[in-house]
Structure 1
Amino acid sequence: MGMWDWLPGRKAEAKGVTFDPVWLDFFGARTSKAGVPVSWERAMDVSTVFACIRVIAEGVAQVPLAVMRELPDGKGSQPAKDHPLYKVLNSKPNQWQTSFALRETMIFHLALTGNAFFYKNVVRGKVKELIPIDPGCVAITRNNDYSLTYTISDLAGRSMTLPQSMIWHIRGPSWDTWRGLDAVRQAREAIGLTIATENTQAEMHANGMQASGVYSTEAKIDPEKYKQIQAWIAAQVGGANRHKPFVIDSGFKWTPQTMTGVDAEHLETRKFQIEEICRSFRVLPPMVGHSGQAMTFASAEQIFLAHVIHTLMPWIVRIEQSIDNDLLDRDEDADFFAKFNVNSLLRGAHKDRGEYYAKALGAGGAPAWMTQDEVRGEEDLNALGGEAGKLPKPTNVGGSAAQKPPKSGQGTKNDEI
């Protein structure tokens, strides 16, 4: 659209930009330099890719998700169990999935394709059900007014076009703001090289880790005899005979090829590819079972904490804000918001939690900022009420009242004596 189309009274042409994920496959955009085609399905066959997606998906899915209501005068929030979206997000999004299963599928779609789509079953203006849609079946069109429409195709070849209001579209990292970046396409070189090295290693093991050789003779061999000799050699060096002596006659000579240093480096290459894929999905290698060095309990705890903060939290915040923007978009939802309870993932050791709660309750003379009931809530314990719901008075470490220091130039009574 040109700048003149924005003038008042001028009608803009009904054009749009369409993105269809199938287009990438037709034009070979998913083929890596290693010569291996990389798709979403093929990428999940790589153990590191599957482990990265799984550790993110299970981390997001296991955290309780609830619709919260803001309390008046900024006094906090509480679960809004009477809101119709509460049950959909917290326990039963549709007839065959749990909340855990829905969010797990959501992350698989998001982390691999950059997009997750859900049909909003709206009854009387309220979302009663969320139906997941395969990202490969959705084509997105951005209209002139920057609204989006979604064309959904089924296995029978039928399609329907739905407006933006009927689709919950969660995007991963995005360049053009209306579709997420395809993570598999962006990391296809690392994934493709991993697939290629796995194939090479598998072929070597299929041959008993033996390289091929040359079977030579000075006699002339006709095509039919050549086929017979080739089949005979395959029977001698393959299957159960691969480690048995190779018997030859009639002046033939077998010259085996030795394994090169490049072949011996396959294991190191595969280790490096694990780190490359983890880097692409922003997952720490120890979280997928790959540790370059021994870890202590202290370092392991910090790694798990870093995983929550740097890997899971960006996805969690992205989903929370998408719910607020696309599912809690009615005027009467102004006081509601979605919240993941990540406290259970951020809990440290018993000693660390004990010291933190002691300071929060005012130990050491500092003002308290938590009540006993709030501490019990953090530990999934029921509130006691009464004095436990009030902020405690600060106490000293030694148990005695703090003494004021003497004024400058004045000593204590004992000093004067």
Structure 2
Amino acid sequence: MGLIDRLLGRKAEEKAVSFDPVWLDWFGSRQSKAGVPVNWERALDVSTVFACIRVIANGVAQVPLRVMKELPDGKGGTPATEHPLYAVLNRRPNKWMTSFELRETLIFHAALTGNAFFYKNMVRGQVRELIPIDPGCVTITRSNDYSLTYTVSGIGGRSMDFPQSLIWHIRGPSWDTWRGLDAVQQAREAIGLTIATENTQAELHANGAMPSGVYSTDQKIDPEKYKQIQAWIAAQVSGANRHKPFVIDSNFKWTPQSMSGVDAQHLETRKFQTEQLCQSLGVFPQMIGHAGQAMTFASAEQVFLAHVVHTLGPWWERIQQSIDVNLLDGPEDAGYYAKFNANGLLKGAHKDRAEFYSKALGTGGSPAYMTPNEIRALEDLNPIEGGDELPKPTNVGGAPAPDKPKDGAQDPKNDEK
């Protein structure tokens, strides 16, 4: 409804826009130019797609996800173990899944279809259970007031409408802001070409890597004789006779017509398609075991750091903000927020961690910014008595830095001299 209509008090006709993946499949909008229909199920059959999604899912699922309570003045936060959502996100989201499994499923749904849906089982205004919903069973309807309605098709064929307040909807990158872009749909050409290439190479090896050709003769062949020759050739080049010599007589000639696997550059094509799919899904090829060149330990560490920052980081932030907006949206949830703890994933070698912790404790004269107990928590160690205070800065040798003399007072060491 436009501004003039609102000012005049005119009522706008309610219109709805629906999104149903089944509708897209029915009209063939996911047919790739390679002639292969592409959907999320066929995409998962591609090893590169499965490896990329699994790398992202593992990175999101293995990092602790906790509900935090803001400290006074916004100076940090502490785990809010008393909040009902804490156990749902951190331990048991429903009766049959763990937190790891739920987040793993979330990434598989959102990264492939652009949308992940969970039913919020509410008890007294608090989320006590999250029930995953197959994205293919959900139709989204948006009204003119921008409210969303989710129609979910059940196992028994029945459909139910749910308001936006009862569905936790995690969207991937979006164009229209209310539904995520289907990653498989957007990358269907790269996925379709990969599937077609795999099928071609599989057929080549199924025939013993023997190309087809022309079996010719100057003699005239009637239709019945043609069928007999065709059956005889098939018997000679298939099954147990696949790699045996092909014997011909009666002045017949065999002329190969197809390129070999090397000439067709199947390996190079498949390597390039692997890189294309990694680009589409936002994963560095090295993270799925595809290294274009040899890596040193230093370069491997940088690739892993880049994976954490550029691949996992956006997914962590996307999920955190979605939880804050959709699961911690009640008045009693003020001051609570969701947080991934990625410290365990960023652990380096023992030497690197020791140097980092030494500087954090103030070694070298710089001010300390971590307490011993905070460092012990990062190493999964229990706190110690007196470990909650920031230590005083120390010199490189480890001795405490001398106190600054008061104005007008002499350094005791100079007095001794």
Tell me whether the two structures share a fold, i.e. TM-score over 0.5.
yes
**Residue 407 of structure 1: aligned partner:** none
**Residue 392 of structure 1: aligned partner:** 391
SS at match of 2:12: coil
Structure 1: state its 5+ residue gaps: 405-417
Q: Does 1:239 align with 2:243?
A: no
Query: How far has the Cα of 1:156 moved from its partner?
Result: 3.7
Q: Distance in 1 between matches of 2:171 and 2:329?
A: 17
Asked if the contact 1:320/1:339 (under 8 Å) is kept, the reply is yes
**Inter-CA distance 69–234: structure 2 relative to 1 (3 Å threshold):** same
**Residue 415 of structure 2: aligned partner:** none
Cα distance per residue 1:56-106 (max 9 Å; x no partner):
001100111111111223342111111111111111111111110010000
Q: Distance in 1 between matches of 2:356 and 2:44?
A: 41
What aligned pairs does 1:191-206 form with structure 2 within 5 A after superposition?
A: 191-206=191-206
**Residue 336 of structure 1: aligned partner:** 336
Query: How far has the Cα of 1:356 moved from its partner?
Result: 1.1
Q: TM-score, normalised by structure 1?
A: 0.93
**Residue 135 of structure 1: aligned partner:** 135
Asked if the contact 1:396/1:402 (under 8 Å) is kept, the reply is no
Q: Distance in 2 between matches of 1:381 and 1:196?
A: 52
Which amino acid counterpart does residue 60 of structure 1 have in structure 2? V
**Residue 374 of structure 1: aligned partner:** 374
Q: Distance in 2 between matches of 1:400 and 1:103?
A: 46
Q: Which moved more, 1:11-20 or 1:92-101?
A: 11-20
Q: Distance in 1 between matches of 2:149 and 2:229?
A: 63
**Residue 97 of structure 2: aligned partner:** 97
Query: How far has the Cα of 1:352 moved from its partner?
Result: 1.3
**Inter-CA distance 258–139: structure 2 relative to 1 (3 Å threshold):** closer
Query: How far has the Cα of 1:248 moved from its partner?
Result: 2.0
SS at match of 2:210: coil
Which amino acid counterpart does residue 110 of structure 1 have in structure 2? A
Asked if the contact 1:151/1:160 (under 8 Å) is kept, the reply is yes
Q: Distance in 2 between matches of 1:153 and 1:233?
A: 53
Query: How far has the Cα of 1:36 moved from its partner?
Result: 1.0
Q: Distance in 2 between matches of 1:231 and 1:295?
A: 53
Q: Distance in 2 between matches of 1:139 and 1:395?
A: 62
Q: Does 1:41 align with 2:58?
A: no
Q: Distance in 1 between matches of 2:328 and 2:113?
A: 25
SS at match of 1:255: strand
Query: How far has the Cα of 1:377 moved from its partner?
Result: 1.2
Which amino acid counterpart does residue 32 of structure 2 have in structure 1? S
Query: How far has the Cα of 1:401 moved from its partner?
Result: 5.2
Cα distance per residue 1:232-257 (max 9 Å; x no partner):
11110112211111122333222233
Among all aligned residue pairs of Structure 1 and Structure 2, give the percentage whose two residues are the same amino acid: 76
**Residue 410 of structure 1: aligned partner:** none
Q: Distance in 2 between matches of 1:309 and 1:400?
A: 37
Which amino acid counterpart does residue 244 of structure 2 have in structure 1? K
Which amino acid counterpart does residue 188 of structure 1 have in structure 2? R
Query: How far has the Cα of 1:6 moved from its partner?
Result: 2.2
**Residue 223 of structure 2: aligned partner:** 223
Structure 2: state its 5+ residue gaps: 405-417
Q: TM-score, normalised by structure 2?
A: 0.93
Q: Distance in 1 between matches of 2:400 and 2:26?
A: 79
**Inter-CA distance 400–145: structure 2 relative to 1 (3 Å threshold):** closer
Which amino acid counterpart does residue 233 of structure 1 have in structure 2? I
Q: Distance in 2 between matches of 1:98 and 1:233?
A: 57
SS at match of 1:363: coil
SS at match of 1:52: helix
Q: Which moved more, 1:252-261 or 1:185-194?
A: 252-261
SS at match of 1:364: coil
Which amino acid counterpart does residue 396 of structure 2 have in structure 1? V
Query: How far has the Cα of 1:11 moved from its partner?
Result: 2.2
Which amino acid counterpart does residue 112 of structure 1 have in structure 2? L
Q: Distance in 2 between matches of 1:227 and 1:95?
A: 63
What aligned pairs does 1:33-72 form with structure 2 within 5 A after superposition?
A: 33-72=33-72
